[in-house]
Amino acid sequence: MTFNIEYEARKPLDFDYEQLIQSVIAMALEKEQCPYEAEVNVILTNDEQIHEINQEYRSIDRPTDVLSFPLLDYQTPGNFEGIEDHIEDYFNLETGELMLGDIIISVDKVYEQAESYGHSIQRELAFLVAHSMFHLMGYDHMEDEERIIMEKKQSELLSSMGITR
Protein backbone atom coordinates (compact mmCIF):
# COMPACT_ATOMS: atom_id res chain seq x y z
CA MET A 1 0.00 0.00 0.00
CA THR A 2 1.10 3.52 -0.68
CA PHE A 3 0.26 6.39 1.62
CA ASN A 4 1.59 9.73 0.42
CA ILE A 5 1.51 12.20 3.31
CA GLU A 6 2.45 15.84 2.81
CA TYR A 7 2.76 18.23 5.75
CA GLU A 8 2.05 21.81 4.70
CA ALA A 9 0.66 23.16 7.97
CA ARG A 10 2.42 25.78 10.04
CA LYS A 11 1.34 24.30 13.39
CA PRO A 12 3.29 21.16 14.31
CA LEU A 13 1.83 17.84 15.43
CA ASP A 14 4.09 16.53 18.21
CA PHE A 15 3.35 12.81 17.77
CA ASP A 16 3.88 10.23 15.04
CA TYR A 17 0.99 11.46 12.90
CA GLU A 18 2.20 9.49 9.85
CA GLN A 19 1.92 6.20 11.74
CA LEU A 20 -1.53 7.15 13.04
CA ILE A 21 -2.77 8.12 9.56
CA GLN A 22 -1.38 4.94 8.00
CA SER A 23 -2.95 2.76 10.72
CA VAL A 24 -6.40 4.33 10.32
CA ILE A 25 -6.27 4.03 6.52
CA ALA A 26 -5.13 0.40 6.68
CA MET A 27 -7.81 -0.51 9.23
CA ALA A 28 -10.55 1.22 7.19
CA LEU A 29 -9.51 -0.76 4.11
CA GLU A 30 -9.48 -3.96 6.14
CA LYS A 31 -12.89 -3.28 7.71
CA GLU A 32 -14.40 -2.64 4.26
CA GLN A 33 -12.64 -5.74 2.91
CA CYS A 34 -10.94 -3.88 0.10
CA PRO A 35 -9.49 -6.67 -2.06
CA TYR A 36 -6.74 -4.47 -3.54
CA GLU A 37 -3.55 -2.82 -2.46
CA ALA A 38 -4.47 0.86 -2.35
CA GLU A 39 -2.96 4.29 -2.76
CA VAL A 40 -4.19 7.24 -0.69
CA ASN A 41 -2.84 10.79 -0.68
CA VAL A 42 -3.11 12.88 2.50
CA ILE A 43 -2.30 16.57 2.78
CA LEU A 44 -2.12 18.18 6.21
CA THR A 45 -2.60 21.91 5.77
CA ASN A 46 -3.94 24.98 7.57
CA ASP A 47 -7.24 26.86 7.62
CA GLU A 48 -6.14 29.37 5.01
CA GLN A 49 -5.24 26.75 2.41
CA ILE A 50 -8.24 24.50 3.04
CA HIS A 51 -10.48 27.59 2.84
CA GLU A 52 -9.16 28.28 -0.67
CA ILE A 53 -9.70 24.66 -1.73
CA ASN A 54 -13.19 24.61 -0.19
CA GLN A 55 -14.06 27.80 -2.09
CA GLU A 56 -12.66 26.51 -5.38
CA TYR A 57 -14.17 23.01 -5.37
CA ARG A 58 -17.32 23.39 -3.28
CA SER A 59 -18.07 27.14 -3.54
CA ILE A 60 -18.10 27.32 0.27
CA ASP A 61 -16.35 30.46 1.50
CA ARG A 62 -14.90 29.22 4.79
CA PRO A 63 -12.36 26.75 6.09
CA THR A 64 -13.48 23.22 6.89
CA ASP A 65 -11.89 20.39 8.84
CA VAL A 66 -11.49 17.81 6.07
CA LEU A 67 -12.06 17.48 2.35
CA SER A 68 -12.29 14.17 0.53
CA PHE A 69 -11.71 13.72 -3.18
CA PRO A 70 -12.66 10.16 -4.12
CA LEU A 71 -11.43 8.86 -7.47
CA LEU A 72 -13.87 5.94 -7.75
CA ASP A 73 -17.54 5.77 -8.62
CA TYR A 74 -19.28 3.10 -6.56
CA GLN A 75 -22.58 1.44 -7.38
CA THR A 76 -22.95 0.75 -3.65
CA PRO A 77 -20.76 2.25 -0.90
CA GLY A 78 -17.88 -0.04 0.04
CA ASN A 79 -18.61 -2.46 -2.82
CA PHE A 80 -15.47 -2.99 -4.88
CA GLU A 81 -17.10 -5.30 -7.43
CA GLY A 82 -16.62 -4.18 -11.01
CA ILE A 83 -13.70 -1.90 -10.18
CA GLU A 84 -11.39 -4.00 -12.34
CA ASP A 85 -13.52 -3.07 -15.36
CA HIS A 86 -11.94 0.38 -15.08
CA ILE A 87 -8.26 -0.50 -14.65
CA GLU A 88 -7.02 2.49 -16.63
CA ASP A 89 -9.20 4.89 -14.60
CA TYR A 90 -8.89 3.51 -11.07
CA PHE A 91 -5.51 1.80 -10.84
CA ASN A 92 -1.98 3.15 -10.83
CA LEU A 93 -0.62 1.37 -13.89
CA GLU A 94 2.94 1.45 -12.50
CA THR A 95 2.19 -0.07 -9.08
CA GLY A 96 -1.10 -1.88 -9.76
CA GLU A 97 -2.61 -0.19 -6.69
CA LEU A 98 -6.18 1.03 -6.50
CA MET A 99 -6.11 4.85 -6.38
CA LEU A 100 -8.76 5.74 -3.80
CA GLY A 101 -8.27 9.50 -3.76
CA ASP A 102 -7.11 12.44 -1.72
CA ILE A 103 -7.69 13.56 1.85
CA ILE A 104 -7.00 17.16 2.89
CA ILE A 105 -7.08 17.98 6.61
CA SER A 106 -6.72 21.33 8.37
CA VAL A 107 -4.34 20.92 11.30
CA ASP A 108 -5.76 24.18 12.70
CA LYS A 109 -9.19 22.49 12.84
CA VAL A 110 -7.68 19.35 14.38
CA TYR A 111 -6.46 21.44 17.34
CA GLU A 112 -9.64 23.54 17.51
CA GLN A 113 -12.05 20.58 17.39
CA ALA A 114 -10.03 18.44 19.80
CA GLU A 115 -10.32 21.22 22.36
CA SER A 116 -13.98 21.86 21.57
CA TYR A 117 -14.93 18.16 21.86
CA GLY A 118 -12.69 17.54 24.86
CA HIS A 119 -10.55 14.79 23.40
CA SER A 120 -6.97 14.39 22.20
CA ILE A 121 -5.47 15.80 19.04
CA GLN A 122 -4.61 12.23 18.05
CA ARG A 123 -8.26 11.17 18.39
CA GLU A 124 -9.43 14.12 16.29
CA LEU A 125 -6.91 13.43 13.53
CA ALA A 126 -7.83 9.72 13.53
CA PHE A 127 -11.54 10.60 13.32
CA LEU A 128 -11.02 12.95 10.37
CA VAL A 129 -8.95 10.35 8.51
CA ALA A 130 -11.57 7.65 9.20
CA HIS A 131 -14.37 9.98 8.12
CA SER A 132 -12.59 10.82 4.90
CA MET A 133 -11.69 7.19 4.17
CA PHE A 134 -15.35 6.24 4.24
CA HIS A 135 -16.02 9.05 1.77
CA LEU A 136 -13.24 7.65 -0.44
CA MET A 137 -15.02 4.29 -0.31
CA GLY A 138 -18.34 5.72 -1.45
CA TYR A 139 -20.14 6.55 1.81
CA ASP A 140 -21.88 9.84 2.43
CA HIS A 141 -23.96 11.55 5.12
CA MET A 142 -26.35 13.75 3.16
CA GLU A 143 -29.40 11.67 4.12
CA ASP A 144 -30.14 10.47 7.67
CA GLU A 145 -29.98 6.80 6.67
CA GLU A 146 -26.55 7.31 5.07
CA ARG A 147 -25.32 9.39 8.01
CA ILE A 148 -26.28 6.70 10.53
CA ILE A 149 -24.41 4.01 8.56
CA MET A 150 -21.32 6.18 8.12
CA GLU A 151 -21.23 7.27 11.77
CA LYS A 152 -21.54 3.65 12.92
CA LYS A 153 -18.67 2.58 10.65
CA GLN A 154 -16.47 5.44 11.88
CA SER A 155 -17.22 4.64 15.51
CA GLU A 156 -16.59 0.91 15.07
CA LEU A 157 -13.31 1.58 13.27
CA LEU A 158 -11.96 3.92 15.94
CA SER A 159 -13.18 1.66 18.78
CA SER A 160 -11.49 -1.36 17.21
CA MET A 161 -8.24 0.62 17.26
CA GLY A 162 -8.71 1.70 20.88
CA ILE A 163 -9.15 5.32 19.86
CA THR A 164 -11.88 6.78 22.03
CA ARG A 165 -12.96 10.16 23.31
Q: Is 37 exposed, middle or buried, given 0-12, 13-18 or 19+ CB atoms closer than 10 A?
A: middle
Say which residues have a Cβ less than 8 Å from residue 154's Cβ, sequence separation at least 6.
127, 130, 131, 134
Q: Is 135 annotated as a binding residue?
A: yes
Say which residues have a Cβ less than 8 Å from residue 130's Cβ, sequence separation at least 6.
24, 28, 154, 157, 158
Q: What is the pLDDT of residue 142?
A: 85
pLDDT band of 32, cuts 50, 70, 90:
very high
Q: Is 51 annotated as a binding residue?
A: no
Question: pTM of the full predicted structure?
Answer: 0.95
Q: Is 141 annotated as a binding residue?
A: yes
Q: Which has more pLDDT, 6 or 73?
A: 6
Checking if the pLDDT of 92 tops 90, the result is: yes
Cα–Cα dist 137/133, whole Å = 6
Do the beta carbons of residue 24 and residue 136 sit within 8 Å?
A: no
